[in-house]
Amino acid sequence: MKSTPVAHRLGFTLSQDARVGLLTVGMLVVAALILPASIVSKLDLVGYAVCHRISDRSFIIGGTQLPMCARDTGMFGSTLLCVLGCLVVRPARVAKFPQLRFWPVLVAFGLMWAADGFNSYMLLATGHVFYYVPLNSVRLLTGALMGVALASFVVPFFNEAVWSPKIRSNEPVIQSWGTLLILVFIALAWVAFVLWQPGALYGAYALISTLGTMMLLSIVNSLVVVLLTHRENTLVSWRQFTLPFLIGVTLSVVEIAAIGALRSFITARMNLPF
């Protein structure tokens, strides 16, 4: 009998998209570990545009504050890693939302994220504990679980909007409890990794979380470009997507710079503490 590869027996194959994605992120993380701190610190510009960056609500790694708060570090880092996870454990370019039986779990992740955020905001606004004392570890955890929910909808939405029906898969991105558990495991692994906090890995933490932010912004901007050029549901290769993607990334950089400049102006004018 012909042997079956382990990946096939486990129900997934490592697609070309997955190999490229994992290799790209891996190379960037390695680069972040060897680049001088003065260069890695520029990632703070991304965090400054999308996050409050309050120091006592952020992790300090090796004496340096991460670009984003604990909640955003969990959410954006987990989203990036879970998107990569979807590429690995599901068919390439899967284009259907999770099966309805999994929606209550994903909605619960979103509600946990919102509830913890509201609880933290009430402490900031009133100076008094609302439901419970906010902790960075809880912020990180609820953010990471929110990342599972975001990835579960971003992946099929992107694939449905961009790729031709000829090459995309019409299977749900989550169609078994095993797939959902794998994504939750990825999120929890990210939480454990951040809580580990060795100073030498500051660059990896900072890069993964900011890459998640830029990925989401670039996806939105790229989809706008695809829609405006009337190319939705027509692309059959990443080469055809190169130009919309580059425009999307460029727009994301411009947006980050503009939001950062606006925040700096408002902060100076209103003498805000952050």
* Tokens at 79, concatenated: 């989203």
Domain ranges of the chain: 16-25+34-262
Cα separation, 266 vs 244, whole angstroms? 32
Terminal CA-CA length for the chain:
65
pLDDT for position 266: 87
**Nearest C-alpha neighbor of 235 from the set 17, 14, 13:** 17
**What pLDDT, on the 0 to 100 scale, is given for residue 3?**
36
Give the Cα separation of 262 and 25 in Å (integer). 30
Tell me the mean pLDDT per 10 residues along the chain, length 274. Answer: 40 66 80 77 91 93 92 97 90 91 97 96 88 94 98 96 92 95 96 92 91 95 95 92 95 95 85 66
* pLDDT value, residue 11: 47
**Residue 87: predicted pLDDT:** 87
How confident is the model at residue 274, as a pLDDT? 62
Q: Which two tokens stand for residue 76?
A: 């954006």
Handedness of CA 72, 158, 29, 11 (dihedral sign): positive
pLDDT at 199: 85
Give the Cα separation of 165 and 232 in Å (integer): 11
pLDDT given for residue 13 in this prediction = 56
Alpha-carbon span 13 to 256, nearest angstrom? 36
pLDDT for position 9: 43
Task: Find residue 172's DSSP bridge partners.
Answer: 96
